[in-house]
Structure 1
Amino acid sequence: MPNSPMLTPSVIAKEALMQLKNQLVFGKLAHRQYKKEFAKVGDTVTIRKPVKFQTTDGAVRQNQDVEEGSTSIKLDQRKHVSWNFSSQDLTLSIEEYSERYVAPAMLTLAQTVDVYGAALYRKVWNVVGTPGTTPSNYASLGAVAQRMTEMAVPRNERRAALTSEAFHKIAGTLTTLNMPKQAADAWASGEIGNIAGFNTHESVNIKSHTVGTKAGAPLVNGANQNTAYSASMKTGVQTLNMKGFTASSAGVLREGDVFTIAGVFAVNPVPGEAGAGKNVLPYLQQFVVRQAAVNSDGSGNAAVTISPAIIVSGPYQTVSAAPADSAAITVLGTANQVFPQNLAFHKNALALVTVPLEMPDGVNWKAQESAEGLSIRLVKDYDIGNDVEIVRADILFGWEAIYPDLAVRLAG
């Protein structure tokens, strides 16, 4: 029989890109349309946030200042996998070569990309569920859907990524339904279709969060710690002074910890009539710690970076009222408790950017493929010392929670 034709770099790169896309979970669900704004490692692109206005009463015009917030994505992750093979391997069919080399390599890269996406839970402040209790039924996702609707998250393009345990427990409640073949196939492949309005997926890369030590009894340290949107619209954060921690304690709070403040309620984020205030919701506003670790000083005080910013009026209002001095702070979860961070989000909440890398000179066997917001580069060289061919596959990417207000964590 004649030998199979040699595989070309373009053919292998196309296969690698397809395998990468198929293996992604978070990367497949996130927004991926910002690549045109990037060129090289270290690039940062600023994204404008929507402007909000309030309605006013009567025929007399009342002008409103335009305050345009922003967020940034940085292209800061360069990852690769590499493998050796013989020249004879290039005569394999693409199916055989993919099974032996490409698919395992792309699985590794996809898992790496997804890990960074799952870690964005640390910037999301809305949480439903009970830490330590695995979500196990439709009502679990229903509670997330309710919170999203109350937070004015668009109903279309909602996604959910769950731990294997939560995924299969929730899927198990659907076994009494008469599932068509397409739904059954999706379930078997780690996608159980639309549940409570979410395109629901299983992910092995869901992060677990470790709660801070919570040493002491934290309180707000000083009244009137609210801010204006103009002061936080570029960063989305502010500093909140706290007291009541055990003196000189390390790690009293950790990045990603969620807390509430007594008397500070959540509001519907959609602007209403000027002067009338927003609709106050029947639960306290949640905040998330946005610094790696919070240590208390010798008096038990700490200055904590938080999101969202505490804004008490105007179209960007986030809370019902500013916290009072000595208002009690309640941190979600038990001290040092570890629990999974299932994540539900609108497509525009999280953004993944991958861009083409520069192609090296002096190498003949090379290819780069880009499609659907993903890009991968393959290069082959020869190791004369060991008489083997070497291929490396590289990807350059960056992640950001560009609209964390469009996401909700589901505690597990």
Structure 2
Amino acid sequence: MANVLLTHDMLAERALFDLKNELTFSRNVFTGYREEFHAVGGFKKGNSVRVRLPNRFRAKKAVTVDPIELEERNTTVTVDIQAHVAFALTGQQLTFEIEDLSRKVIKPAIIALANQVDADGLAEYVNIYNMVGSPGTTPSDFSFLTAAAERLDNEAISREGRVSVLSPKAHWSMADGELKFVFQQNMVDTLIRKGFIGRFALMDFFMDQNVVSHTVGTRVSDTGAVATTSSEGATTLALKGFTENDQILQGDIITVDSVAGVNPISGQVWENAALRQFVATADLTIGSGGTGTLSISPKIYSSAANEDFLPIQTVNDLPAANDVVAIVSGASGSSHPQNMFFHPHAFALTMVPIARPMSANKSVMWGSATDEDLGLAVTVSTDWNSVAFSENTRIDVLYGWDTIEPEYCVRGTG
């Protein structure tokens, strides 16, 4: 039987099928915000929408009702990344069986796109303030995993649906260490879910070669101090006692002596008064006199905060003047992979159909496919370049990554 001439819609459907099977990190995050976007004919790079996050509450032991004002939590979701793979596709190749064309052209192109989408998602680690592990030491035993699980418990994160994504080195170190038998089970699932390596500590474990490494700022001083006592709701920390030109980079982690983390639901201080970690949300170069103002996350709310803010309490006490500040993300200038332990609601991948041009299926051959359940969309197009006298085909995806609830994730440094 003669082969059917493949249309661009057929190519897009196959590209979407291959994309679903090649994603690892991206298959384990929240993709529901695409429903918040509304546009006829698709979207353009830069489209954004404001979304509300779930409210939080703290229980009271009292008969009398004393309602509080809800602290509105919201964030902006933006589709600001357009990635593509381009190639020359001949008319003869369009007469191939779809499986043959996928093997030779579409799947290799989608593998490149899937890796890009995953890598962009894993780069969201810079927004995560909880970290476990020892910088410079590849994890290999139970303690690394249980420390991450414990931190998620301390943040009152649901145990249902937790996921871990490990770098290849961490994966193989674990697979040859104490978790050898855990990571060699469930072979059927391994074949079905890309990168799946087992389940332990109430988490599904995956390996992804796109795990990103964090480079720590260069510095002379590992410690400094708080210059002025913080206020409730602060997102900056005044520093002193460092060395001029020390760098604290976005993604670096600091602690403040005697400032412990708390369970936001109960307000209880973490066991052993474990210190609250803060992440730098912008680069800082320490100025003359060893001082500077560091932008941080999470917001600082102590037990003394207004009652309206207690459901999002983050620390037991405010950072006070002269409290010691330590940089704990690694040695000066060092680089460490950031494995991820998270609940899917930590991150949002929003992938939307690209706006259909007026020339679609006129001067430009055009096809698109969407999976509403998984929140994925792919476009395939071909046009004629009269200047170069050539015909080019491209596969495009339009998406955005957002860290929605950073407390739902823990970085595992290696």
CA spacing shift, 1:280–1:196, aligned 2, 3 Å: closer
Letter in 2 for 1:202: M
Contact kept, 8 Å, 2:121 with 2:401, in 1: the verdict is yes
CA distance in 1, matches of 2:135, 2:325: 18
1:401 to 400, 403, 406: 403
1:294 to 278, 284, 303: 284
Partner of 1:31: 30
Letter in 2 for 1:93: E
TM-score (norm 2): 0.90
Q: Is 1:320 the equivalent of 2:322?
A: no
Residue identity over aligned pairs, in percent, reads 33
Q: Secondary structure at the match of 1:308?
A: strand
CA distance in 2, matches of 1:184, 1:239: 44
Letter in 2 for 1:164: P
Partner of 1:133: 137
Q: Is 1:369 the equivalent of 2:365?
A: no
CA distance in 1, matches of 2:192, 2:154: 29
Shift in Å at residue 172 of structure 1? 2.8
Q: Secondary structure at the match of 2:241?
A: strand
Q: Secondary structure at the match of 1:85?
A: coil
Q: Secondary structure at the match of 2:261?
A: strand
CA distance in 1, matches of 2:226, 2:381: 56
1:345 to 342, 347, 369: 342
Contact kept, 8 Å, 1:363 with 1:381, in 2: the verdict is no
Q: Secondary structure at the match of 2:336?
A: strand
Q: Is 1:266 the equivalent of 2:261?
A: yes
- Runs of 5+ in structure 1 lacking a partner? 233-237
CA distance in 1, matches of 2:254, 2:342: 20
Contact kept, 8 Å, 1:87 with 1:388, in 2: the verdict is no
CA distance in 2, matches of 1:94, 1:309: 52
CA distance in 2, matches of 1:32, 1:184: 23
Shift in Å at residue 280 of structure 1? 4.2
Residues 189-198 or 92-101, more deviating: 189-198
Partner of 1:235: none
Shift in Å at residue 43 of structure 1? 2.1
Partner of 2:152: 148
Shift in Å at residue 171 of structure 1? 2.3
CA distance in 2, matches of 1:385, 1:309: 55
Q: How many residues align?
A: 393
Partner of 1:119: 123
Partner of 1:203: 208
CA distance in 2, matches of 1:395, 1:23: 14
CA distance in 2, matches of 1:45, 1:370: 20
Letter in 1 for 2:289: S
Q: Secondary structure at the match of 1:148?
A: helix
Shift in Å at residue 382 of structure 1? 3.6
Shift in Å at residue 201 of structure 1? 1.0
Partner of 2:306: none
1:64 to 40, 61, 68: 68
Q: Secondary structure at the match of 1:153?
A: coil
Contact kept, 8 Å, 2:122 with 2:211, in 1: the verdict is yes
Partner of 2:300: 310
Shift in Å at residue 75 of structure 1? 1.4
Give CA deviations for 1:62-89 in whole Å, capped at 9, x if unaligned.
Answer: 2212111212211111121111022111
Shift in Å at residue 137 of structure 1? 2.7
Contact kept, 8 Å, 2:190 with 2:196, in 1: the verdict is no
Give CA deviations for 1:358-404 in whole Å, capped at 9, x if unaligned.
Answer: 12223423211010201111112245677754211111110000000
Residues 337-346 or 195-204, more deviating: 195-204
Shift in Å at residue 348 of structure 1? 0.6
